[in-house]
Amino acid sequence: MEETLKYDPKSSLILDLVEEYINHYLYEEAETLLKDYLKDSPITPRAIKLWMRIAELQKDFEKYKKLKEKYEKIEKIYFEEKIKVKEKELLKGKKEIEGIKELDDFPFIEIKEGIEIFLKGLGLGNVKKIIAEDKNAILYIRKNEKWREIKFKENTKFSNVTWIMKSIEKIE
Amino acid sequence: MKKIEYLESIVKIPGIRGIYVFDENGKEIYRESTFSRDKEYYKLLVESFLKNKEKFPEILYLFTEKHLLILAHNEKFFKGFLISISFKDINLGLLRIKIKKFLNID
């Protein structure tokens, strides 16, 4: 029985084909195929990279520049997403964690200015992580101007809090 | 062990760059620091902390790229305010225990 090959425009294998077209100097065909693929598929760093290569080989430097800007934005989003997933995996099932939430501003706004002036004056840089130790320990981690709050249950050992802080630091 | 002796033992921990202690009115009662021009910068921090200290946890650990700033108070025994500056890789367990003990000395 004869086997028939089906063309799925959403398949990521299309990107292999695009690469193949580029390697055979078929830049216009490669670009058309890539644009068709991107109509239905999410834009990925690989797809943009291939598009940049086409633009470079076509000596369309204006297009290359625009695509490069797009690539940098997408790469940043992908990187942040990757970190988020890894963090989620790390924190999943940790019994000592009571809750996690995102904050728009510095967690201790009343002393923000005082801390900033103090640290800047002594040349010590910006605050990146905070542990608040009281009845419940709370860990705050700064991510792209936002703060993530990880609240621990009462009586959680301080060493567990610092362990989680260091583990998150390693992901970065 | 007296409060002052405790502070002196904190200063001896390798990695400490400064310890500042203020009373409940913000008056400096202890200062040991490796920074030469720190006095002009901690005034606002002390004022804003004393104004809002009921909103703050007993110990606040603030980590920068290379340093650790600790702000501590305790309403029961130590009603003032303690600031510690050290390198981030200090023996945090030891520093924490010493600060906690200092805060709880009657």
Output the pLDDT for position B35: 85
Output the pLDDT for position A6: 64
Q: What is the nearest CA distance from B56 to chain A, expressed in angstroms?
A: 8
* Contact call for B48 and A110, based on CB within 8 A: yes
Q: Does A119 touch chain B (CB under 8 A)?
A: yes
Between chain A and chain B, the number of residue pairs with CB atoms below 8 A apart is: 90
* Contact call for B67 and A125, based on CB within 8 A: yes
* pTM of the full structure: 0.77
The whole-angstrom separation of Cα A25 and Cα A23 is 6
Q: Could you tell me the CATH superfamily of domain B3-103?
A: Dynein light chain 2a, cytoplasmic (3.30.450.30)
* Contact call for B48 and A114, based on CB within 8 A: yes
* Contact call for A108 and B51, based on CB within 8 A: no
The whole-angstrom separation of Cα B8 and Cα A47 is 61
For residue range B53-65, list pLDDT tens digits in order.
888 999 999 999 9
Beta carbons of B95 and A131 less than 8 angstroms apart: no
* CATH level 3 topology of A93-171: Beta-Lactamase (3.30.450)
Q: If we measure between CA atoms, which residue out of B89, B97, B27, B71 comes closest to residue A118?
A: B71
Residue type, A130: I
pLDDT at B4 over 80: yes
Output the pLDDT for position B105: 79
Output the pLDDT for position A8: 67
| B41, B55, B59: residue with CB nearest A118 | B41
- Tens of pLDDT, residue by residue, chain A (172 residues): 566 656 666 677 899 999 999 999 999 999 999 999 998 888 888 999 999 999 999 999 999 999 999 999 988 888 888 888 888 888 888 889 999 998 988 999 989 999 999 999 989 999 999 999 998 999 999 887 789 999 999 989 999 999 999 998 888 6
Beta carbons of A136 and A151 less than 8 angstroms apart: yes
Q: Does A124 touch chain B (CB under 8 A)?
A: yes
Q: Does A166 touch chain B (CB under 8 A)?
A: no
The residue extents of the domains of chain B are 3-103
